[in-house]
């Protein structure tokens, strides 16, 4: 209906020009970039069933001040990492089994769009500080994860449109940025805007390249893989006008931490954020990607930058073919969006001055706790007072590395250059390398209690450090390459040196970590390290040299050189020109082409791994890593929920880290007890992340984190009280007991329930515990969606009603009334609270269901049974 043609080079393409809608009277020129991308998607996929004229109308007549309704779009590709990808592939394999049992062709269960799975979340820093660290950690990773890696190798040959990148390749978002992204995709002779979703919150890193993409839960991504449209609310779009010149010495990390703090105050939750203005042109694509990466931390769906000359330069620098670069330019010019959108209307415009940003860090427990270097020490002291009830530093003498040293509160025990946020940015890593070079030349080193590690997300950027000669200086300070993957930022920091771990436990030391990551929730980095600060890679090196977060690095010496001469941060900090010269000399497109052309050859151990073949996976009952999914079992009956017991009553900002099992499995955890019952030794437990493909492990670990408090009995995380007996037991045991009795269970929570990473097991786990509904003051965007996609009903308390105001102690039973006559987006329902003394109270609340598609998911018990039913009917 709308398609036209254009020619670039020797190729002719069809496309759907946005200007065609102007001929129908729509004012397209006023629309922001992201709305135009969604609009083209609807034009191209208009089918009158899943994607309708009404969807097109909502976008073409988008109201910036009060966007209304929902819109369905079809994503052009999906990316996932192994933690989230393994359970997704388990679900697909289970669906194939069901299809085969029903006499259908199992190959109908197959990704309908390109899917890339990058294995990057399973490596741990067990070895560090040596040239052998990378090899040893990789060997351990494959040894520990052999069963799940066999499964992924099977999936690679079993499913069409699925490509698996072996462990040791890099981090998902950096592989996406440097290699996978096309910006303009083609299907035959059809060209269109690239769009994607990823099974990881920080998929938004790709927004730095101008690609509209965001993180979703695994179940939603699975539906997109199977060709289902993704339904979203028509978004609010907040324009962020960047202006000013960054100060010398200020890095992209400093900017993003300042932007994160700023935008959280603005409140961009659920909005699409677009950056525009003269300041954008002063940021390279790696710098833009660093800022876009942390959109989940400032709360928005996207953190989008335009496609411009800087974008094309980055494509060229990373070895993309000239034909693609020419196509991107031509297509974006034809669509009227090359270089950004002039005069676009936004729901809100905010101003951000790049020249006002100082060097800073964020911590000690949240990514938006921005501190200047001068403020960092006092922030730790306040945390020390809060957690340990002391303001004076406690210290002991320990022996480590053949030396006796003082070690105490505030000392840095983990200094990690890690995570997707920063380690694909050559400017940041070169800055760290130059700083290390000067430190080595002056003869200063980190104290022996600092565990130093370097886990680049990109083989190419690591090669640039090696070729430029800077890696040897990082090595001198202990920052040897220890892995190519997502490590410390997700808690895969590995063990602390034994004397350090012993001192922390025996003397109640409050130690700190400094990492170049994007998440620093309390105890996330390491269970024994409660404080963590996010910082740029060069600052990570600087704090490692200082050995403590209690120094003001702007004014106090980092360390003392030979002869006792003080060395300050200003003495070793590289200038922007120095960094730029190294990047310009050593960033070579051939490096990117070489590394990504040899992906299959980088890890011989992966090549040697034997795996089954065929369309159906041969499940093994004794496999403790991979088991078929139970999410397709049982009938669904939607009706009023009566006599429900609160399984947990929770406060504000309960994260997916608290809900979804994460980190090491311990023998006292129900999951550990289950594994021991199968003969698995504690030394072989591995992590919850590695065992995400076994629902028996994951359901037992759900809500077992010690990082939250249960208001029922004011108990530590992982424990609750089973009523009416009043008996304290694990959350899993209580849920099983309620199941045996036929008692429905619910969860009650405060504000921002489900904050953090887009972990599908934060929804799947409660579903398998039997949770029917979650009642909260407010929900995090991705997690609320995930709840509906597994069939759990999210319910939002009315303004002014808080969890504490409900005066619940867990002994109550609660009825949810108003479901029997049907559910609908935003429908008002009644919560009827029966108290132990016989009193009854009623409160009006609303279903936090936003779209009619979500209604269908809940009616079918989740999106996966819904999609399976549709596929089998076809």
Nearest one of 671, 685, 669, 756 to 719, comparing CA atoms: 669
Sorting pLDDT into bands at 50, 70 and 90, what band is 562? confident
Distance of CA 157 to the CA centre of its chain: 27
pLDDT digits (tens, 9 = 90+) for 244-301: 999 999 999 999 999 999 999 999 988 999 999 999 999 999 999 999 999 999 999 9
Average pLDDT estimate for 69-97: 93
Average pLDDT over residues 44-49: 91
Mean pLDDT of 608-636: 91
pLDDT at 231: 85
* Strand ranges in 92-224 using DSSP code E only, listed in sequence order: 115-118, 162-165, 184-187, 190-193, 195-198, 212-215
| Residue corresponding to tokens 């995380």 | 717
Domain architecture of the chain: domains with CATH: 360-597 (3.30.499.10), 641-658+709-873 (3.20.19.10), 661-701 (no CATH)
Structure tokens at 192: 């269109």
Q: Residues 377-393: what's their mean pLDDT?
A: 96
Residue 758 has pLDDT above 70, yes or no: no
Question: What percent of the chain has pLDDT above 90?
Answer: 85
Average pLDDT, the chain: 94
pLDDT, one tens digit per residue, over 168-214 is 999 999 999 999 999 999 999 999 999 999 998 899 999 999 999 99
For residues 528 and 493, give the distance between their C-alpha atoms in angstroms, rounded to a whole number: 11
Query: Please, which pLDDT band fits residue 786 given cuts at 50, 70 and 90?
Result: confident
Residue 349 has pLDDT above 90, yes or no: yes
Q: Answer yes or no: is pLDDT of 815 > 70.
A: yes
419 within 8 A of 461, measured Cβ to Cβ: no
- Residue 133 pLDDT exceeds 90: yes
Report the candidate in 660, 690, 664, 599 with the shortest Cα–Cα distance to residue 790: 660
- Asked whether the predicted pLDDT for residue 782 surpasses 80, the reply is no
CA–chain centroid gap for 473, Å, is 31
pLDDT tens digits, one per residue of 350-363? 999 999 999 999 99
CA-to-CA distance for 684 and 322, rounded, in angstroms?
Answer: 49
827-852 pLDDT tens trace? 999 999 999 999 999 999 999 998 88
Give every CB contact of residue 222 below 8 A, 6+ residues apart in sequence. Answer: 88, 91, 92, 863, 864, 867
Beta strands in 423-481 (DSSP E): 451-454
Q: How far is CA 125 from the centre of its chain?
A: 20
Residue 302 predicted with pLDDT over 80: yes
Please write the tens of the pLDDT for every residue from 471-480: 999 999 999 9
- Hey, what's the torsion of the CAs at 546, 376, 127, 81, to 10 degrees? -150
Res 749 pLDDT > 90: yes
Which tokens go with 467?
A: 């070729």
User: Rounded mean pLDDT of 652-679?
Assistant: 92
Q: From CA 422, how far away is CA 770, in angstroms rounded?
A: 40
Average pLDDT over residues 587-607: 89
- Residue 813 and residue 833: Cα distance in Å, rounded? 6
Beta bridge partners of 730: 719
Instruction: Tell me the average pLDDT across 643-672.
Output: 93
Among candidate residues 541, 380, 520, 391, the one with its CA nearest the CA of residue 470: 541
User: Residue 32's pLDDT is what?
Assistant: 98
Q: What is the pLDDT of residue 690?
A: 83
Q: Answer whether residue 398 shows pLDDT above 90.
A: yes
**Mean pLDDT value of segment 753-774:** 90
Burial 239-251 (b: 16+ CB within 10 A, else e): bbbbebebeebbb
pLDDT band at residue 874, thresholds of 50, 70 and 90? confident
pLDDT of residue 226: 86
């Amino acid at each position: 209906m709308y398609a036209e043609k254009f020619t670039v080079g020797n190729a002719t393409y069809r496309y759907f020009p946005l200007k065609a809608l102007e001929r129908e009277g729509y004012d397209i020129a006023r629309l922001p970039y992201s709305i135009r991308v969604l609009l083209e998607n609807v034009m191209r996929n208009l089918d009158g069933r899943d994607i309708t004229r009404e969807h097109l109308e909502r976008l073409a007549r988008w109201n910036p001040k009060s966007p209304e309704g929902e819109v369905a779009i079809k994503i052009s590709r999906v990316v996932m990492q192994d933690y989230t990808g393994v359970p997704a592939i388990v679900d697909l394999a289970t669906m194939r089994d069901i299809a085969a049992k029903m006499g259908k062709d199992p190959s109908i269960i197959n990704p309908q769009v390109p899917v890339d799975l990058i294995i990057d979340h399973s490596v741990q820093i067990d070895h560090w500080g040596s040239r052998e660290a990378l090899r040893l950690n990789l060997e351990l990773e494959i040894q520990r994860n052999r069963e799940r890696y066999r499964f992924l190798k099977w999936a690679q040959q079993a499913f069409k449109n699925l490509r698996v990148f072996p462990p040791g390749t890099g981090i998902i978002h950096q592989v996406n940025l440097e290699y996978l992204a096309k910006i303009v995709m083609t299907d035959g002779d059809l060209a269109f805007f690239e769009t994607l979703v990823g099974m990881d919150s920080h998929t938004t890193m790709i927004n730095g390249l101008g690609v509209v993409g965001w993180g979703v839960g695994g179940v939603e991504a699975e539906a997109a893989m199977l060709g289902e449209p993704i339904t979203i609310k028509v978004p609010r779009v907040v324009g962020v006008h960047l202006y000013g010149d960054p100060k010398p010495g200020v890095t992209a990390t400093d900017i993003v931490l300042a932007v994160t703090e700023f935008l959280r105050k603005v409140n961009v939750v659920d909005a699409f954020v677009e950056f525009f203005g003269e300041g954008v042109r002063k940021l390279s694509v790696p710098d833009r990607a660093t800022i876009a990466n942390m959109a989940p931390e400032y709360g928005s769906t996207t953190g989008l930058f335009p496609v411009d000359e800087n974008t094309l330069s980055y494509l060229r620098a990373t070895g993309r073919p000239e034909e693609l670069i020419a196509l991107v330019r031509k297509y974006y010019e034809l669509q009227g969006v090359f270089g950004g959108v002039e005069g676009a209307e936004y729901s809100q415009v905010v101003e951000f001055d790049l020249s006002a940003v100082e060097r800073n860090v964020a911590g000690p427990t949240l990514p938006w706790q921005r501190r200047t270097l001068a403020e960092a020490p006092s922030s730790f002291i306040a945390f020390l007072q809060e957690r340990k009830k002391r303001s004076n530093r406690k210290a002991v003498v320990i022996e480590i590395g053949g030396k006796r040293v003082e070690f105490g509160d505030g000392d840095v025990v983990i200094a990690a250059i890690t995570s997707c946020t920063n380690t694909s940015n050559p400017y940041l890593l070169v800055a760290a390398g130059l700083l290390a070079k000067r430190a080595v030349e002056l003869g200063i080193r980190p104290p022996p209690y600092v565990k130093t590690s370097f886990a680049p997300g990109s083989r190419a950027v690591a090669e640039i450090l090696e070729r430029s000669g800077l890696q040897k200086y990082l090595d001198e300070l202990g920052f040897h390459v220890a892995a190519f993957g997502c490590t410390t930022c997700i808690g895969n920091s590995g063990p602390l040196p034994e004397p350090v771990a012993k001192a922390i436990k025996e003397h109640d030391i409050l130690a700190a970590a400094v990492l170049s990551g994007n998440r620093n929730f309390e105890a996330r980095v390491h269970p024994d390290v409660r404080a963590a600060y996010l910082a740029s890679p060069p600052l990570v090196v600087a704090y490692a040299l200082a050995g403590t977060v209690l120094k003001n690095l702007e004014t106090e010496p980092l360390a003392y050189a030979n002869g006792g001469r003080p060395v300050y941060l200003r003495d070793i900090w590289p200038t922007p020109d120095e960094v730029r010269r190294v990047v310009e000399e050593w960033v070579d497109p051939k490096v990117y082409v070489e590394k990504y052309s040899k992906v299959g050859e980088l890890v011989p151990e992966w090549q040697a791994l034997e795996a089954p073949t065929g369309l159906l996976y041969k499940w093994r009952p004794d496999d403790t890593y991979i088991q078929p999914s139970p999410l397709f079992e049982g009938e669904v009956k939607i009706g009023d929920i009566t006599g429900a017991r609160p399984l947990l009553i929770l406060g504000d900002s309960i994260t997916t880290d608290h809900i979804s099992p994460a980190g090491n499995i311990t023998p006292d955890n129900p999951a550990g007890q289950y594994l021991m019952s199968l003969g698995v030794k504690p030394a072989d437990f591995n992590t919850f992340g590695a065992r995400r493909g076994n629902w028996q492990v994951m359901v037992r670990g759900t809500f077992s984190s010690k990082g939250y408090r249960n208001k029922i009995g004011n108990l530590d995380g992982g424990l609750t009280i089973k009523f009416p007996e009043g008996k304290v037991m694990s959350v899993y045991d209580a849920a099983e007991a309620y199941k045996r009795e036929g008692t429905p269970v619910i969860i009650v929570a405060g504000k921002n329930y489900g904050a953090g990473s887009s972990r599908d097991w934060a929804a799947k786990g409660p579903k398998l515990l039997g949770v029917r509904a979650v009642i909260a003051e407010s929900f995090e965007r991705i997690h609320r969606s995930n709840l509906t996609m597994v069939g759990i009903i999210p319910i939002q308390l009315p303004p002014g009603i808080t969890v504490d105001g409900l005066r619940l102690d867990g002994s109550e039973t609660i009825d949810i009334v108003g479901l029997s006559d049907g559910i609908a987006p935003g429908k008002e329902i009644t919560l009827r609270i029966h108290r132990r003394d016989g009193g009854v109270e009623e409160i009006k609340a609303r279903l936090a269901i936003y779209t009619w598609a979500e209604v269908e998911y809940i009616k079918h018990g989740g999106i996966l049974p819904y999609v399976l039913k549709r596929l089998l009917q076809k």
